[in-house]
Amino acid sequence: MPPGRPGRAAYPVVSEVGHRLARVYEGVVQDLIDELGRLPNVGPKSAQRIAFHILQADPADVTRLAEVLLEVKDKARFCDRCGNVSQDSLCRICADPRRDQTSICVVEEAKDVVAVERTREFRGLYHVLGGAISPMDGVGPEDLRIAELMSRLSDGTVTEIIIATDPNIQGEATATYLSRFLKHMGIVITRPASGLPVGGDLEYADEVTLGRAFEGRRAVND
């Protein structure tokens, strides 16, 4: 392509070499690709594909997308109590008086709340830790919302904790840490029964399996 042709700024200025996509587009298009590329699971190729999709999309659709993005940052937040995503200072679950106030299910991420809710096996409250212990990723117990959990337990209302961290190495370590931490508090600590795919991710367990795991939860005696 002859260089410097007007009106063609969106096309490659430098051709693509192998799989490496350096900053090959000009100005705002490249900015968009860079921003998209910072999203989880979006590699340089996908970022480029999404960017071109947006370039060619109906302006109304793009406006809508931009509005929702701003709105979600403006309105959505994390629940002050459990750490789940929420529209208000308390999420819908924490604000619902019909939920069993004596039981808390501890999960790694907000998306795990959705997974457990889908099973309809659990009627209590949640606590989102914000991750799992993983020294390789520099995540220790002090990086998780454990202090917040402790303060929720201080008034004695809660009598059961279900530790539903992922059934993988990091999730198991987190469960052991928590159960050791909590065991002197006179609270029943359980873990969803095995049957969950080991080495897996709670989010991807199907409803039936996860539901059954909740029914058959067992006491943690470590």
Partner 1 sequence: MHVRHLSVVDFRSYPTAELALGPGVTTLVGLNGQGKTNLVEAIGYLATLSSHRVASDQPLVRFGTSSAVIRGTIDRAGREVLVELELNPGRANRAKVNRSSVSRPRDVLGSLRTVLFAPEDLSLVKGEPAGRRAFLDDLLVQRQPRWAGVRSDYDKILKQRNALLKSAAPVLRKGSRRPRSLAPGEAPDEAKASALQTLGVWDSHISEVGSQLLYARLRLLRDLRPHLTASYDAVSASVSGATAHYRASLAEAPTARIAAGDVPEQAELRELLLAAFAEVRDQEIERGVSLVGPHRDDVVLTLGELPAKGYASHGESWSFALGLKLAAYQLLRNDLGEDPVLILDDVFAELDSGRRERLAELVADCEQVLITAAVGADVPEALRTTGRTYAVSLGEVRDVA
Tell me, residue by residue from 34 to 73, as one string, x for binding to Zn ion by CB under 5 A and - for no binding.
Answer: ----------------------------------------
For Zn ion, which is the closer residue by CB, 99 or 212?
99
- With binding defined as CB under 8 A, does residue 207 bind partner 1? no
Q: Contacting partner 1 (CB under 8 A), which of 135, 151, 184, 221?
A: 135
| Among Zn ion, partner 1, none, partner that 94 touches (CB below 5 to 8 angstroms by kind) | Zn ion
Query: How far are the Cα atoms of 169, 186, 201 from residue 135, in angstroms, in the given order?
Result: 11, 29, 18
Q: Determine the interface stretch with partner 1 among 5-13, 117-125, 130-138, 153-161 (rule: CB under 8 A).
A: 130-138
CA angle, 177 as apex, 176 and 182 as ends, to 5°? 95
Q: Which amino acid is at 111?
A: K
Tell me, residue by residue from 149 to 188, as one string, x for binding to partner 1 by CB under 8 A and - for no binding.
Answer: --------------------xx-xx--xx--xx-------
Quote the tokens at residue 217. Answer: 């939860």
For partner 1, which is the closer residue by CB, 3 or 138?
138
Query: To the nearest whole angstrom, how small is the minimum distance from the Cβ of residue 134 to Zn ion?
Result: 24
Q: Footprint of partner 1 on this chain (CB under 8 A)? A: 133-136, 138, 140-142, 169-170, 172-173, 176-177, 180-181, 198-199, 222
